Amino acid sequence: MALEILIIDDEETLRMSLVEGLKDMGHNVYAASDGKTGMEAIESKGPQAVMLDIRLPDANGLQLIQSIKAIDESIQIIIMTAYGDIRTAVSAIKQGAFDYIHKPFDLDEIQVILKRIEETLRMKQKLFLLEKESDALIRQPIIGQHPSMSDVFHKIEVLSKNDDVTVLIRGETGTGKELVASAIHHASSRKNAPLVSINCAALSQNLIESELFGHEKNAFTGANALKKGLIEIADGGSVFLDEIGELKPDTQTKFLRVLEDKKMKRVGGLEDIQVDVRIIAATNKDLEKAIEEKEFREDLYYRLNVVPVCLPPLRERGEDILLIARHFLTLYNQKFHKQIEGFTKEAEKCLLDYPWKGNIRELKNVVERMVILHTGKTIDEKALPSDIGENNKKTPKEKKHWMMEETEIPEGFSLEEHLKEIEACYLNHALEKCHHNHTQAAELLGISRFALKRRTEKRKK
């Protein structure tokens, strides 16, 4: 990373030597011989780092620190002094300097400090991007009127009021787990602190540990400077770990300590670091099966599963499909300057009948594509992607139920017994979701309250 560096020093020989040396390192460097010229250069050029002599002909370096920070708080200042006055150096750090060096110094010493500045700037940029992503998530509402979503909304409300409780969000890919995590964080008392996200499936084992816990200088090859991890950066806020089921056992062990003791060590570090973070984890993986296969720690599972939030797949949310599709239609009408008024009844029926394996993410992509390509006032079934339109034209015999897509029929199979098991599973699931409110459970299952009661009583006989 090439830095924009300004050198402010009245010694011409040293100044010119530094300019050439730092240019050889690949940085963009310019210089000033006094405080006035230096401040003018800061305002006009906007450097990322300033090497500032403590004694200048027209200014005191300590006083200039505050003036520089007033122009741009992000500028990293390295104080240079020939006097070895430790009190002056400490005072400079307290006023906002990044570091200090004593004259005479060598370029290797400066290079080490500049590497740390590069890492600091990268981390600030990463946090800025994370905050932008977080703000974007806040603006996205969680849409749903289906009874299966009432438990989700209830838990978001409860969890936002209890900001130390660990959360495990479960659901298929694309069901909105990150939206729920954002809603919980930004409705809690931690909302003014960072919500830091990491996808555990997207990084290698070594990178995950370095990203989560940070590392000490020289902890491994290429670790040229100390790096804070995302857990440490999120201190006071929340950490969202997507696809936590992908963590390897060694990392699970280290992460368990964060949950239990609120302490962690950087990679290669010896000292414990106390952190105050809320952990919100998410997975589409069968963690119970992973425990059986010794791929996931049972004790970590129980620490994560304090308050589980289970997101239903889109295909089970009925009319919510249309509510969400209309929301995305409005969103992309604005983005692409279109005025599409809505979907025809036939198109809506196609949307409702489609299984949506990719859930809300797939629906979002479909609506975006249609808005970009469509030129009419309304979207009919002909404007839908072919797989969605063709699915609606199939006869009931031709339609393959989503549960059967990866199911083999074993020897000795009894359809009657299998159907009884499926019915019992759905009845129990509906009653649990609706807190044993039979009217709501019957509505969720699409049957009458009388039919629910009859089927429940029949199972007890």
What percent of the chain has pLDDT above 90? 31
- Model confidence at 137, in pLDDT bands (50, 70, 90)? very low
Q: What are the sequence ranges of the domains in the chain?
A: 4-119, 147-310, 314-401, 414-460
Pick the CATH number of 314-401 from 1.10.8.60, 3.60.15.10, 3.20.20.70, 2.60.40.1840: 1.10.8.60
Find the mean pLDDT for residues 296-321: 92
List, for residues 37-86, the tens digit of each pLDDT value.
Answer: 989 888 888 888 999 988 888 888 888 888 888 888 888 999 888 766 67
Find the mean pLDDT for residues 145-174: 92
Q: If DSSP codes are grouped into helix, strand and coil, which group holds residue 60?
A: strand
Q: How far apart, in Å, are the Cα atoms of 134 and each of 129, 154, 181, 185?
A: 8, 22, 10, 10
Residue 138 scores a pLDDT above 50:
no
Position 158 scores a pLDDT of 94
Residue type, 146: H
List, for residues 358-377, the tens digit of each pLDDT value.
Answer: 999 999 999 999 999 888 89
Identify which has the larger pLDDT, 438 or 175.
175
Sign of CA dihedral 434, 187, 243, 146: positive
Query: What is the rounded CA–CA span in Å between residue 205 and residue 212?
Result: 11
Find the mean pLDDT for residues 307-326: 93
Closest Cα to residue 325, out of 300, 349, 290? 349
pTM for the predicted model, two decimal places: 0.60
Find the mean pLDDT for residues 302-326: 92
DSSP 136-166: HHHHS-----SGGGHHHHHHHHHHHH-TTS-
Residue 344 scores a pLDDT above 70:
yes
Does the domain at 147-310 match CATH 1.20.1340.10? Answer given as no
Identify which has the larger pLDDT, 75 or 2.
75
How many Cβ atoms from other residues are within 10 Å of residue 139's Cβ?
Answer: 8
Query: What is the rounded CA–CA span in Å between residue 158 and residue 139?
Result: 21
Position 121 scores a pLDDT of 77
With contact defined as beta carbons under 8 Å apart, do 374 and 347 qualify? Answer: no
- Residues facing residue 60 across a β-bridge: 55
Residue 461 scores a pLDDT above 60:
no
Residue in the block written with tokens 């089921």: 245
Closest Cα to residue 66, out of 85, 50, 86? 50
Position 277 scores a pLDDT of 93
With contact defined as beta carbons under 8 Å apart, do 116 and 226 qualify? Answer: yes
Find the mean pLDDT for residues 214-240: 83
How does strand 76-81 pair with strand 99-102?
Answer: parallel
List, for residues 169-226, the tens digit of each pLDDT value.
Answer: 999 999 999 999 999 999 999 988 888 888 888 777 667 888 888 888 777 777 777 7
Query: What is the rounded CA–CA span in Å between residue 406 and residue 411?
Result: 16
Rg over CA atoms, the chain: 30
Position 346 scores a pLDDT of 92
With contact defined as beta carbons under 8 Å apart, do 232 and 275 qualify? Answer: yes
Q: If DSSP codes are grouped into helix, strand and coil, which group holds residue 379?
A: strand
Mean pLDDT (the chain) is: 84
List, for residues 107-134, the tens digit of each pLDDT value.
Answer: 888 888 888 888 777 766 655 555 555 5
Identify which has the larger pLDDT, 308 or 395.
308
In degrees to the nearest 10, what's the CA dihedral of 362, 363, 369, 375?
Answer: 170
Residue 311 scores a pLDDT above 70:
yes
Query: What is the rounded CA–CA span in Å between residue 456 and residue 441?
Result: 12
Position 116 scores a pLDDT of 86
- Model confidence at 153, in pLDDT bands (50, 70, 90)? very high
- Model confidence at 402, in pLDDT bands (50, 70, 90)? very low
Same fold, 4-119 and 314-401: no
Position 176 scores a pLDDT of 92
Query: What is the rounded CA–CA span in Å between residue 406 and residue 17?
Result: 70
Query: What token pair was written down for 25?
Result: 């390192």
With contact defined as beta carbons under 8 Å apart, do 255 and 295 qualify? Answer: no
| Topology at the third CATH level for domain 4-119 | Rossmann fold (3.40.50)
Closest Cα to residue 162, out of 170, 150, 154, 151? 154
